[in-house]
Amino acid sequence: MKVTVCIGSSCHLKGSREVVETFRRLIAENDLKGKVELGGTFCLGNCVNGVCVDVDGKTFSVTPETAEEFFSNNIKGKC
């Protein structure tokens, strides 16, 4: 599974670093390193709804507060 977090300016200011850190921690805790490929990209083209997260081609809107729940529902559960 490929998970890409937007690290463009707008998403960065909305907390993309915290989202990346949360995902990294959860990938390690859940032993998903081989299954989830986490990356960062500059701008997913939906700045208003940041932080943008792309999971296998589908873009979602995540915040640092919802990152953990999002991970459980959309990443961990679908691996």
Please give the residue ranges that form the binding site for another protein (CB under 8 A): 4-5, 7-10, 12-13, 16-17, 20-21, 38-43, 45
**HSE-up (13 A, CA, CB side) for residue 1:** 17
| Sole residue written with tokens 């990346």 | 20
Q: How far is the CB of 5 from another protein (least distance, A)?
A: 7
Nearer to another protein, 20 or 32 (CB): 20
- Kindly tell me which of 43 and 77 has the beta carbon lying closer to another protein: 43
Give the Cβ contact number of residue 5 at 10 Å. Answer: 24
